[in-house]
Structure 1
Amino acid sequence: MDLKPALAAAAALSLAACGSTAATSSTDAEDNGPDVVVAFYPLEWASTQVMGDIGSVSTLTAPGVEPHDLELTPKQVASLADADLVIYLSDFQSAVDDAIEQSGATNVLDVAQYVDLLTPVEDHDHEADEHEEEATEDEHDHGDFDPHFWQDPTRMQKVVAAISDALAEVDAGNAGTFSANADAATAELSRIDDEFTTGLQNCAINEFITTHEAFGYLADRYDLTQIGISGISPDEEPSPARIAAIQEEATEHNITTIFFETLSSDAVASSIASDLGLKTAVLDPLEGVTEKSPGTDYPSIMRANLEALRTANGCS
């Protein structure tokens, strides 16, 4: 008896069965929950907290990439049309704004609609005309608003609530889970806010100097004064007049520390600190998480920032 035809048939059936199993697994994965695409890290953290183990979250801004300067691949742009929900902050990353429009994505959540965005605080007393012109152009690029709302945990709570509501519309069957997860994230953000309020209540110094004006919301929330070497964009090069003004501010306010961040060069901060005999330390703007970050996620990095400020400003 020739067994070759029977063996061939059995092999074909085996391959078909394997193919059927793989297809089913893929479908099951897709049905597990919404496919969400977010623009940058704070929105990624908020989304993963609300979603838990339901669905998937992918971010357009990879770890270590400066979100202000993001450039997208054609594959990333195409992913927006396929996503169940796209979450972004308008007028922050022009590449994302353009990609959303080009892709024709329909389910889009712009968190700018849910947080009270601040206008940047300008230091006209010390800035040269050259720097003021650069700051004006930079603010225009960001829609004349400071985009770094996530430095205020209470504003993050509003974003968490908005994401929960948007996900409930996309996946009504899991609305209760999203709501419960959002409540847990909101409680954690309340704890962080309480820790900042208490930890920064009694400080010898109320001003802090940082390379990048990413902490305006933190300063506004906790009654501190941010003094930025550069403006809203970390790529803005400070003029010699601006550096001289920063040195004056540091002396006037008895500043002990010049803060720099993990995603951009510390050269300017180190130079100013060296000239004045001051320390340098990291104050992380939480625009992305890398191995150099002072924590592993939003809560731990926020708490690391709190301790850095308390140390530098002599808080009791």
Structure 2
Amino acid sequence: MNVRRLISTTAVAAATALGLVSLSACSGTSSAGGDKGGGKLDVVASFYPMQYLAEQIGGDHVEVTTLTKPGVEPHDLELKPRQASELRGAGYILYLKGVQPAVDEAIAQSGVEHTVDAATLTTMESHGTEVGHDHGDEGGEHEGGEHGAEGGADPHVWLDPVKYAEVAKGVGDSLAKADPAHAADYRKNTEALVGKLKSLDAKFAAGLKNGTTKTFITTHSAFGYLAERYGLEQHGIAGIDPESEPSPARIKELQSVAKQEKVSTVFFETLASDRTARTLAEDTGLRTDVLDPLEGITDRSKGDDYLSVMESNLAALQKALGAK
């Protein structure tokens, strides 16, 4: 069994229990909107893609805390008692169910009125190690159920600017309900962010339109939505779970794919091991490069926010696919 999946039930239960000791005494905080004293709505986001939405849409009216600190692989997160307490006192919680089991359990028991699961704001799909314009959902029977959203769905919707924009609209609406006094600003900020995401979508569509190949290989099968959106074909070394170990047969299959599809590059990411990607690249004479699933921003990220890292991803894909 994968080590990262061994999330301690005891630890989660303890953290949740400690965080909820005074729930009855503090329940008024949540219903009152989680005002932290400066007139701002206290927002807790589960990990970076949710944090970015909350900050961009909430603007000056929110104070955002993220449960996943920079450099921490989100799927590894185990909550501390202090973090469970932060959840209990929040005025608004934004998360994506299925990415972080420990977070899902604590949120379910937090009692916070304004709790939003981003997976409910767009249409989720199942993906596995292969997905794209020719393969469709071939990989859905493989690793796709390792840690997807409910029902085994692939949770990486934020890597598709169109789906991320759909989520942004839902977040804007829900913030307006949680804090109606600033609803007009939330809607204005949402429109601005959706406009930026539409521009990003146009850049990807134009930038990936022509290339010598449509196929890319990556360690983490996080780019299924992106592949479908722009007519590409993703082949993952591992499945949806970035720490899944590929079988020898899978490695052999990828070597064949690389040769047949004229693949030039094996992609790895910043928050997980690159060992398997580099080994495959060496065995097949391919280059390596970073394709960032944007689960967190660190000093190693090729950009300092969602938009800049996505543009770096576009440049990396263009180079690997021979697109101009």
Shorter-chain TM range is 0.7 to 0.9
Aligned to 1:106: 113
Determine which of 216, 219, 228 is the counterpart of 1:220.
Answer: 228
Query: Larger deviation: 31-40 or 189-198?
Result: 31-40
Q: Quote the Cα distance in structure 2 between the aligned partners of 1:200 and 1:100.
A: 39
Task: Assess if the C-alpha contact under 8 Å between 1:209 and 1:228 holds in 2.
Answer: yes
Aligned to 1:192: 200
Task: Assess if the C-alpha contact under 8 Å between 2:217 and 2:235 holds in 1.
Answer: yes
Query: How far did 1:102 drift?
Result: 2.6
Determine which of 61, 67, 78 is the counterpart of 2:74.
Answer: 67
Q: Quote the Cα distance in structure 2 between the aligned partners of 1:222 and 1:313.
A: 12
Query: How far did 1:142 drift?
Result: 5.8
Q: Quote the Cα distance in structure 2 between the aligned partners of 1:93 and 1:28.
A: 26
Aligned to 2:162: 154
Aligned to 2:13: none
The reply to whether residue 57 of structure 1 matches residue 64 of structure 2 is: yes
Query: How far did 1:31 drift?
Result: 3.9
One-letter amino acid of the structure 1 residue matched with residue 298 of structure 2: T
Q: Quote the Cα distance in structure 2 between the aligned partners of 1:66 and 1:86.
A: 20
Query: How far did 1:166 drift?
Result: 1.2
Alignment partner of 1:284: what SS? coil
**Long gaps (5+) in structure 2:** 1-33, 132-138
The reply to whether residue 34 of structure 1 matches residue 41 of structure 2 is: yes
Alignment partner of 1:262: what SS? coil
Aligned to 1:116: 123
Alignment partner of 1:209: what SS? strand
Task: Assess if the C-alpha contact under 8 Å between 1:153 and 1:190 holds in 2.
Answer: yes
Q: Quote the Cα distance in structure 1 between the aligned partners of 2:237 and 2:260.
A: 15
The reply to whether residue 262 of structure 1 matches residue 278 of structure 2 is: no
Aligned to 1:282: 290
The reply to whether residue 250 of structure 1 matches residue 258 of structure 2 is: yes
Determine which of 313, 316, 323 is the counterpart of 1:315.
Answer: 323
- With normalisation by structure 2, the TM-score equals 0.83
CA change 1:141–1:302 in 2 (3 A) is closer
**Long gaps (5+) in structure 1:** 1-26, 125-130
Q: Quote the Cα distance in structure 2 between the aligned partners of 1:308 and 1:189.
A: 19
Query: Larger deviation: 138-147 or 217-226?
Result: 138-147
Query: How far did 1:165 drift?
Result: 1.1
For residues 189-247 of structure 1, what are the alpha-carbon distances to aligned partners after superposition, in whole Å with 9 as ceiling and x for unaligned? 01100000000011111010000000001001101000000000011111111111111
One-letter amino acid of the structure 1 residue matched with residue 73 of structure 2: E
Query: Larger deviation: 67-76 or 278-287?
Result: 67-76
CA change 1:260–1:122 in 2 (3 A) is closer
One-letter amino acid of the structure 2 residue matched with residue 228 of structure 1: G
CA change 1:204–1:132 in 2 (3 A) is closer
CA change 1:178–1:229 in 2 (3 A) is same
Query: How far did 1:35 drift?
Result: 0.4
Alignment partner of 1:263: what SS? coil
For residues 39-89 of structure 1, what are the alpha-carbon distances to aligned partners after superposition, in whole Å with 9 as ceiling and x for unaligned? 111111111010112220111111111111211111111211210000111
CA change 1:309–1:249 in 2 (3 A) is same
One-letter amino acid of the structure 1 residue matched with residue 285 of structure 2: G
Alignment partner of 1:58: what SS? strand
| 1:133-152 superposed matches below 5 A | 135=143, 138=146, 143-152=151-160
Q: Quote the Cα distance in structure 2 between the aligned partners of 1:135 and 1:119.
A: 10
Determine which of 89, 94, 106 is the counterpart of 2:101.
Answer: 94
Query: Looking at CA atoms only, which structure, 1 or 2, has the larger radius of gyration?
Result: 1
Alignment partner of 1:191: what SS? helix
Query: How far did 1:289 drift?
Result: 0.4
Aligned to 1:12: none
One-letter amino acid of the structure 2 residue matched with residue 304 of structure 1: S
Alignment partner of 1:103: what SS? coil
Alignment partner of 1:161: what SS? helix
- With normalisation by structure 1, the TM-score equals 0.85
Alignment partner of 2:267: what SS? strand
Q: Quote the Cα distance in structure 2 between the aligned partners of 1:307 and 1:133.
A: 31
Aligned to 2:51: 44
Query: How far did 1:101 drift?
Result: 1.9
| 1:123-134 superposed matches below 5 A | 123=130
Alignment partner of 2:127: what SS? coil
